[in-house]
Amino acid sequence: MIDFGQLRGRTIAITGASKGIGKATAVFLDQLGANLVLGARNENGLKSVASQMHSNPLVMSLDVTDESSVRRFAGQAISTYGKVDVLINCAGIGVFQPTLTMDTDDFDRMVSVNLRGTFLCCKHFGQHMVQNHGGRIINLVSIAGTTALSGCGGYSASKFGVLGLTRVLQMELRGKGVQVTAVLPGAVHTPLWDLVEPKPDTSQMIPVESLAKHIVYLLCQPEGAVIDEITIMPPLGIL
């Protein structure tokens, strides 16, 4: 039986928390009594999320591509709560176009946000966790990080990179008390699809609230084993 009570009072930082997976995960963790540190570029979106919560989360503007912004985010979280127990990297963007006609700026943005952003957050929160001899990092990857999908050249390149980074971090931090987990979902019903044409059938995708619960379940696993990587799929497959 899952003991959600162990999350009460734990400090959890979430990037990309203004919408999608980050928002849904934050809402669920708020119900479980966690201390939340929420970051995203969309400050109004963050304030809207915070207004729906029972607690009083620490809300900060965050650009994961900017190391000084990430450093401030981590520093404020640590100074406010003393330590951060968990980092959940949800910030990400996707532009889906044939690789040969994709705008180079779009490619660069996906690599910068998805890969560089994950690296910077892992770096600054990971240093703190190593000093405290304990912590959890969950990186949202994607099934596109292991599977070649047409129209996902830039997105897959960035997500394959995130998975490689996560696996190296697992090796480097395992003996230092820090557990790093890669979450690879298939298609999730999030605002990521709003700008995609033609519109996909979102009714068959993973509900974002369902994925958020899977993420939280990972934080409540019994001791004695760790989950390095988990793939979570819609009932009918990738989509």
Give me the catalytic one of 155, 166, 182, 218: 155
Could you confirm whether 81 is annotated as catalytic?
no
Q: Quote the CA–CA distance of 83 and 85 in Å, as a whole number.
A: 6
What Cα–Cα distance (Å) separates residue 96 from each residue in 25, 80, 155, 211? 25, 39, 7, 22
What distances in angstroms separate CA 156 from CA 107, 183, 203, 208, one per listed residue?
Answer: 10, 15, 23, 21
Tokens representing residue 107 in the block: 């490619």
* Alpha-carbon distance values, 161 to 3, 9, 105, 167, 211 (Å): 33, 33, 18, 10, 22
> Would you name the residues annotated as active-site residues?
155
